[in-house]
Homo-oligomer: A and B are copies of this chain.
Amino acid sequence: MAPISTTKTGQPLDRQTLDSMLRRRLFYTPSFELYGGVSGLYDYGPPGCALQANIVDMWRKHFVLEEDMLEVDCTMLTPHEVLKTSGHVEKFADWMCKDPKTGEIFRADHLVEEVLEARLKGDKEARGLKVDREDDADAKKKKKKVKDIKALRLDDAVVKEYEEVLAKIDNYGGDELGSLIQKYNIKNPTTGGDLLSPVAFNLMFQTSIGPSGGMAGYLRPETAQGQFLTFQKLLEFNQQSMPFASASIGKSFRNEISPRAGLMRVREFLMAEIEHFVDPEGGKAHPRFDEVKDIELTLLNREVQLEGKTDVEKMSIGKAVSTGLVDNETLGYFLARIQLFLKKLGVDQSKVRFRQHMANEMAHYAADCWDAELLTSYGWVECVGCADRSAYDLTVHANRTGAPLVVRETRSEPLRIEEWQVDLNKKKFGPKFKKDGKAVEAAVEALTQEQRESLAAGLKKDGKIAIDVPGVGNGKVELEKDILEIVKRTRVENIREYTPNVIEPSFGIGRILYSLIEHVYWSRPGDEARGVLSFPPPVAPTKVLLVPLSTNPEFSKLVRRISHKLRGLGISNRIDDTSASIGKRYARNDELGTPLGVTADFQSLKDGSFTLRDRDTMKQVRASEEEIIAAIKSLSEGTETWEDVAKRLPEFLEQQVD
Contacts and interface: CB of A to CB of B under 8 A. Distances in A.
A212 interface: yes
A444 to B, nearest CB: 31
Contacts of A79: 32, 35, 38
Contact of A29 (B32, B43, B233): B233
A509 to B, nearest CB: 11
A44 B73 contact: yes
A35 B81 contact: yes
Contact of A226 (B31, B50, B78, B210): B31
Contact of A255 (B32, B42, B52, B209): B209
A46 B71 contact: yes
A79 to B, nearest CB: 6
Task: Count identical subunits in the complex.
Answer: 2
A201 to B, nearest CB: 5
Interface in A20-74: 25-26, 29, 31-35, 38-39, 41-46, 48-50, 52, 61, 65-66, 68, 70-74
Given A82-B35, A578-B239, A75 B215 contact: no
A634 interface: no
A77 B252 CA distance: 11
A572 interface: yes
Contacts of A128: none
B41 A211 contact: no
Contacts of A75: 31, 41-43, 268
A610 interface: no
Most buried by B among A25, A207, A211: A211
A236 B207 CA distance: 37
A72 B45 CA distance: 5
Contact residues of A: prevailing secondary structure = mixed
Interface string A202-227: 00011111111001010100000010
A212 B48 CA distance: 31
Interface string A175-215: 00000000000000000000000000100011111111001
Given A46-B237, A201-B211, A211-B201, A230 B29 contact: yes
A306 B91 CA distance: 57
A45 B70 contact: yes
A574 interface: yes
Contacts of A443: none
A567 interface: yes
